Structure 1
Amino acid sequence: MLNKLRDSLQPTMEKLGSGFASTGLSANFWTGVGLALALAAGAAYASASFGAGAYVAAVIGGVLLLVSGFFDMIDGAVARVTKQASKKGAFLDSSFDKIAEVVVFIGIAVGGLANPVWCMVGLGMSLLVSYTRARAESLGVELKGIGIGERAERMLILAIIGFIPFDGTPANDGALEWAVIIVSIVAGITLVQRIVATAKKL
């Protein structure tokens, strides 16, 4: 769903890409920065179990997750501007994205910000969405933009809903609980959409 927005922002992203490319740092470096911020987001979410307030942990984790998403777009823009797009870069970007998702969901579960079972469901559905695209594309079926909830949408849901100042008792009744449930549902629907789309094209 956000692919259309990305297309409309393409001129802006190219300018940003040029700016970041002027530092002399490679696209892979910015990919690593995005991963580091996602790891920090996971740690922030987990900190709710180590003295930080649930809402504070959710907000800090959400901000870090949004900034991580920004660098997830910057690395591609830098690669295009510098004409350094490569299979290695694409592989690292995709792999780091999955590592980031795993860490974020684990952080939310460890922090007690959502029911661990829902976290497992949300993570499982998210990884299956990514797997179906990878498997379909290995068979020659393009799935980019197929489905209501790609990775960017799912991370936005977690980050933004976490900003809502609603902490239930226990913490599992808070806003992130609902965010994880919504992500699980959206990812499940996307999984079905991608399976159907692929089956029709094979």
Structure 2
Amino acid sequence: MLDTHCRKYIQPLIGLGADIAIKLGLDANRVTIIAMLVGVLSGILTALDLNIAGILMLWISGYLDAVDGTIARKTKSSSPFGTVMDITFDRIVEGSVIIGVAYKYSQFSFISLVLAVSIIISMTIFLTTGPLAENKGEKTFYYQAGLAERTEGFVMLSLMILLRERAEVVINIFSGVVLFTAGQRFIEAKKILSKDL
């Protein structure tokens, strides 16, 4: 939701990062890889109980994840494989933080697993609808907006890290929000694709 409605306000800052990366000779795919590595570091730092550093790395990763797409558009270098990398590496980052939290607080292992499965369900709908729907945006795939998008996920992951042993409520709320988003996307997919039935 925040990504869809607030991106225009932070796009100048993302554009600045893209311009700097381009001047440094970094293409979109390299920035995607750097974003993923920084995000995985976030999960490792979380597991090591270095929570503030973990949150900082998570948000740097998220910023770079936005920068890579802007680089691709500015340099007209968007590619199907770049899209695959971007979406796959986003899940690796989320998974790293979830694993970091579950590792550090074993009492959250089961609900962390429920969260991971919720993300799998929502992303399955997102990824199967995309290729079947007409591409209507500047991205290389059809983008289904929803209650839980990347920024909301980062806020929830940050709260999971920050609240430490009290993170159970956040994890459960995050799972509920992701499943609600999956429902939104499923209903939207039915509307978009019903003409093919």
Q: Structure 1, residues 111-143: CA drift from partner, whole Å, max 9, x if none?
A: 117611110111111121111011111221666
Q: Structure 1, residues 70-92: CA drift from partner, whole Å, max 9, x if none?
A: 11111111111222111121111
- Give the match for residue 72 of structure 1: 65
Number of positions where the alignment pairs a residue of Structure 1 with one of Structure 2: 186
What amino acid is the match of 2:156? I
Check the 8 A contact 1:119/1:180 in 2, yes or no. yes
Distance in structure 2 (CA, Å) of the matches to 1:180 and 1:158: 8
- Give the match for residue 129 of structure 1: 122
Unaligned runs of 5+ in 1: 49-56
- Give the match for residue 6 of structure 1: 7
Q: CA deviation at 1:16?
A: 2.6
What amino acid is the match of 1:31? T
Distance in structure 1 (CA, Å) of the matches to 2:106 and 2:53: 13
Distance 1:160 1:141, change over 3 A: farther
Check the 8 A contact 1:45/1:58 in 2, yes or no. yes
Distance in structure 1 (CA, Å) of the matches to 2:62 and 2:106: 21
User: Match of 2:46, SS?
Assistant: helix
Q: Structure 1, residues 91-117: CA drift from partner, whole Å, max 9, x if none?
A: 111111112222211111001176111
Distance in structure 1 (CA, Å) of the matches to 2:130 and 2:191: 14
What amino acid is the match of 2:55? G
User: Match of 2:48, SS?
Assistant: helix
- Map 1:153-172 to 2 at 5 A: 153-160=152-159, 162-163=161-162, 171=165
- Map 1:16-165 to 2 at 5 A: 16-48=17-49, 57-112=50-105, 115-140=108-133, 144-160=143-159, 162-163=161-162
Distance 1:66 1:83, change over 3 A: same
- Give the match for residue 138 of structure 2: none
Check the 8 A contact 2:46/2:97 in 1, yes or no. yes
User: Match of 1:85, SS?
Assistant: coil
What amino acid is the match of 1:155? F
Coordinate RMSD, CA, aligned: 2.0
Unaligned runs of 5+ in 2: 136-141
Q: CA deviation at 1:26?
A: 1.1
Q: Give the TM-score normalised by structure 1.
A: 0.83
- Give the match for residue 53 of structure 1: none
Q: CA deviation at 1:22?
A: 0.7
Structure 1 runs (4+) deviating above 4 angstroms are: none
Check the 8 A contact 2:101/2:161 in 1, yes or no. no
- Give the match for residue 54 of structure 1: none
Q: Structure 1, residues 56-82: CA drift from partner, whole Å, max 9, x if none?
A: x33222111111101111111111122
What amino acid is the match of 1:188? L
- Give the match for residue 185 of structure 1: 176
Distance 1:141 1:159, change over 3 A: farther
